[in-house]
């Protein structure tokens, strides 16, 4: 049975897919055979047949306490990777623990990480992938935000199947489509196992 992922909660609604995956949206509309899910920053289209129901969200997070501005002349510290992951996860409607698990396996949350193949930053984006996502991979905030957006896109593409989405993040969607599931690549299989293990250890399910 595939592992399915529920989206992060905040005020709005959820589209419940036939796979069990829930996608958070501000609102939706049906147009023929397509359901459009609207968020502040994007519109996602899904086949009507894939959406089984909509659930209203009844949870609204308490606004965080105001943080005092730094004194004049004091250096402003960049946000740490975990904070950037949390913000990116919220924007993409994904659990922070899931995005953080991917980042931990990809780079140990190191903004300066560069792989032998040329993948860059916390989310280990290849330059071509970063360009496609209109992100500067060397900017930690853009890198993490783009990685979270890519994860969301892959989860939608594979109807919430986490194994397929993670495999596509690691080996490319072409490989997942070619093998109709987890490719027989030792590196990719180990990668998927590590991320899922970390996610479960962090309380994900």
pLDDT tens by residue, 176-199: 999 999 999 999 999 999 999 999
- The pLDDT score that the predictor gives to residue 73 is 52
CA 14 to chain centroid, in Å, comes to 16
- The pLDDT score that the predictor gives to residue 9 is 40
- The pLDDT score that the predictor gives to residue 26 is 85
- The pLDDT score that the predictor gives to residue 192 is 97
CA 153 to chain centroid, in Å, comes to 8
- The pLDDT score that the predictor gives to residue 21 is 60
How far from each other are the two terminal CA atoms of the chain, in whole angstroms? 13
Euclidean distance between CA atoms 144 and 36, whole angstroms:
26
Would residue 55 show up in a list of annotated catalytic residues for this protein?
no
Q: Rounded to 5 degrees, what are φ and ψ at 38? A: -105, 130
- Which DSSP symbol is given to 49? G
Which of the residues 97, 100, 106, 153 is marked catalytic? 106
Interstrand relation of 13-17 and 51-56 (parallel, antiparallel or unpaired):
antiparallel
pLDDT-derived band at 37 (thresholds 50, 70, 90) equals confident
Mean pLDDT throughout 151-177? 94
Q: Poorest-confidence range of 11-15, 173-177, 201-205?
A: 11-15
Number of H helices, E strands in the chain: 7, 6
- Which DSSP symbol is given to 175? H
Please, are residues 166 and 195 in contact by the beta-carbon 8 Å criterion? Answer: yes
CA 115 to chain centroid, in Å, comes to 21
- The pLDDT score that the predictor gives to residue 8 is 43
In words, the CATH class of domain 81-201 is mainly alpha
Domain ranges (residues) in the chain = 13-56, 81-201
Please, are residues 39 and 93 in contact by the beta-carbon 8 Å criterion? Answer: yes
Residue with the bigger pLDDT between 156 and 182: it is 182
């Amino acid at each position: 049975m595939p592992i399915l992922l529920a989206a992060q909660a905040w005020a709005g609604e959820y589209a419940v897919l036939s796979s069990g995956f829930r996608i958070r949206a501000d609102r939706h509309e049906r147009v023929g055979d397509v359901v459009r899910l609207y968020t502040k920053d994007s519109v996602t289209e899904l086949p009507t047949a894939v959406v089984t129901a909509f659930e209203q969200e009844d949870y609204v997070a308490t606004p965080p306490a105001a943080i005092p501005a730094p004194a004049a002349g004091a250096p402003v510290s960049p946000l740490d990777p975990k904070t950037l992951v949390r913000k990116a996860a919220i924007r993409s409607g994904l659990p922070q623990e899931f995005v953080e698990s991917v980042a931990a396996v990809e780079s140990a949350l190191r903004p300066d990480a560069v792989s032998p193949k040329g993948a860059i930053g916390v989310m280990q984006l290849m330059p071509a992938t970063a360009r496609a996502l209109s992100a500067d991979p060397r900017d930690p905030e853009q890198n993490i935000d783009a990685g979270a957006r890519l994860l969301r896109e892959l989860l939608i593409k594979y109807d919430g199947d986490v194994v397929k989405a993670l495999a596509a993040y690691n080996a490319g969607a072409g490989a997942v489509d070619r093998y109709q599931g987890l490719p027989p690549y030792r590196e990719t299989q180990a990668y998927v196992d590590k991320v899922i293990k970390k996610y479960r250890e962090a309380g994900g399910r």
